[in-house]
Amino acid sequence: MSAHKPQPVAPAKPKCFGWLAEFDNEHDLMTAARKVRDSGYTKTDAYTPFAVHGIDEALGIKPTILPFIVLSFAFCGLFLAIGFQCWSNGYDYKYIISGKPFLSIPAFIPVTFETTVLFSTVSTFFAMWLLNRLPTYSNPLFANPKFDRVTQDRFFLHVDSRDKYYNRESVRELLSSTNPLSLEEVIEDSTPDKLPTVVWMGVATLIVGSLVPLTIVANMRAGKSELPRWHVFFDMDFQPKKKAQSISTLFTDNRSNRPQVEGTIARGQLVEQDPYYLGFDPSKQSSIEIPSAVKLVSAQDDPKADPKVESPKAPKLEGPVEDTKPAAESTEKPEAPSKEPVKVDKEKPAGKKKDTSKKAKAEPKGDDVKTADKPVEVKADGKKTVAEEKNPTATEEKKADAKKADAKKADAKKEEPAKDAPASSTKPADKAAPPTAVAPAAAGPNLPWLTDFPAEVSEEMLALGKAKFEITCSVCHGYAGAGDGLVHRRAEQLQQGYWLPPTSLHEQRIQDQAVGNLFYTISNGKGKMASYAAVLTPKERWAIVMYVRALQRSRNAKIEDVPVDQRAKLEEVKKAD
């Protein structure tokens, strides 16, 4: 590099490298080059500011082997890529992705192509410099200041003294005959061609220095350390949040998860708070029972302190269908007065929708009890126990085992849960209802049911209700709601002994139920009836309730219910009878 700087060094006898002729256009250069070639010189070269086409031929330069080098690298890349992909994805690390076979040739093509091109381009670049013997920072030609213009606007022709026909004088004559701008001898570059110490020391330091972090990392990855890890990204390891069930010193009750604030609804939980979606008014629950939150807090304070609180809670929570959301929410605390209720507690939130968790929980219990479950017993039980009814989705396909287990569990607890009357109208299953159970005949969870429709009663809604009733309800309950749907009739026909007939909607018990209760039943299921919340929107459910009411009314209508202008017609029919 310093080679470019002609420095005033006085060499004793500079070595000569032949003659250098200067031209100012490529045509003169070409002419001269042909002349030199025809004179038999081979160690010649032209130097030009751009690629002069035809100069190769004029100088007798042979084509390069570069394309073959590139082609061989291209094939290396090709086979390496395809082979590596097949080996790594098809053999060494089999992993299903996108449902594709392990050996997916079409999916390997893009990477194969890219790798082939990468190998080719990189090899083109480096092979070209290599074949050109570049980089070289020392070149005798650079010693001539005139030669600086070779990269700008001058053309040079060089005949090397190492040519076997070289003769100083005859070459000079030959070149002068081509009318060059100038003709000079190439003198050995007298400047030092070694890198200045500062430069190479600096580069070496940089290289060594850059290796230090790499070495440290490599060492740490390979070795073992007793020290705790570094938390580089502190906020990812320690996030400013409280995990559930951890202790907080911020609140007096030391709990990190907070009960719901009175009179508010959490975002997205309107569905769990609004009577329209529930069928009852949660805000009025306090008028019926002690608010769950109070129970919970007091239970936490001292589990045994307040039996008065305890007792209503337990049965209520035991109650299969009645475990309501609000209660469920507040019962997530692990601390609880006694073992049994707690168990049930914990099941509550899930139990409402998922029978599986229930089942899983129940099975070990059943094992514990180790009672020989007779099918008959189960059958009998099944009609009245909580177990079945607790899980709205516990239909026929549910394993008998689970049912038994549930039944056993319920029995074992001696919390006779029959307060929740089975949906079946055929068996008057009500056994001694616990005192706390609200006990109207049509027992259900004791909740402040809505008694008025929260939606407008209209022709349109009734039509919707009819349509939806006929789609979803009539298969069991029958088109008129008499409990004689096709499924029922079929079961009778097959004389299925364990078939639980669907409820007739015209039973007094059902007629007495509040509309909210009916809605609740559709939403959450009851007994063997599954929840229909997934297929019916709340509006549709209310519409069905309306339609059910209309059906019931149709059997108990008085003459006053008939529009005045129609009464006469009715009278006529009556007479005709």
- Beta strands 182-187 and 155-159 are unpaired
Alpha carbon 386 to its chain's center: 38
CB 67 to other proteins: min, Å:
6
At residue 353, the 3 state secondary structure works out as: coil
Q: How far apart are CA 396 and CA 523, in angstroms?
A: 20
Least distance in angstroms from the C-beta of 235 to other proteins:
7
Comparing CB distances to other proteins, the nearer of 70 and 278 is: 70
Measure the CA–CA gap between 511 and 353, rounded to whole angstroms.
27
Instruction: Report the 10 Å Cβ neighbour count for 113.
Output: 13
As given in the structure block, the two tokens for residue 107 are: 């999916």
* Interatomic CA distance for residues 3 and 5, integer angstroms: 5
**Which C-beta is closer to other proteins: that of 66 or that of 369?**
66
- Smallest separation, CB 466 to other proteins (Å): 27
CB of 172 to other proteins, least distance (A): 21
What is the C-alpha to C-alpha distance for residues 521 and 533, in angstroms, rounded to an integer? 10
Residue with smaller CB distance to other proteins, 68 or 165: 68
Phi, psi of 158 (to 5 degrees): -120, 130
Q: For residues 355 and 349, what is the distance between their CA atoms, to the nearest angstrom?
A: 11
Radius of gyration of the chain (CA): 48
In whole angstroms, the minimum distance from the beta carbon of 118 to other proteins comes to 4
> What CA–CA distance (Å, rounded) separates 469 from 476?
11
Work out how close the CB of 95 gets to other proteins at its nearest, in angstroms, rounded to a whole number: 6
Question: Both tokens of residue 159?
Answer: 């005949």
- Give 114 or 301: the residue with its C-beta nearer to other proteins: 114
Residue number with CB closer to other proteins (174 or 450): 174
- The residue among 136 and 215 lying less far from other proteins, judged by its C-beta, is 136
Q: Is 210 helix (H, G, I), strand (E, B) or coil?
A: helix
Of residues 44 and 425, the one with the C-beta less far from other proteins? 44
How many residues are given for the chain?
Answer: 577
CB 274 within 8 A of CB 284: no
Nearer to other proteins, 53 or 229 (CB): 53
Q: How far is the CB of 224 from other proteins (least distance, A)?
A: 13
Whole-number minimum distance, CB 102 to other proteins, in Å? 8
- In the complex, the smallest distance separating the C-beta of residue 28 from other proteins, rounded to whole angstroms, is 13
As a whole number of angstroms, the distance between CA 99 and CA 262 comes to: 50
Measured from the CB atom, is 118 or 480 closer to other proteins? 118
Q: Rounded CA gap, 22 and 146, in Å?
A: 9
> Of the candidates 198, 203, 142, 191, which has an alpha carbon nearest to the alpha carbon of residue 20?
142
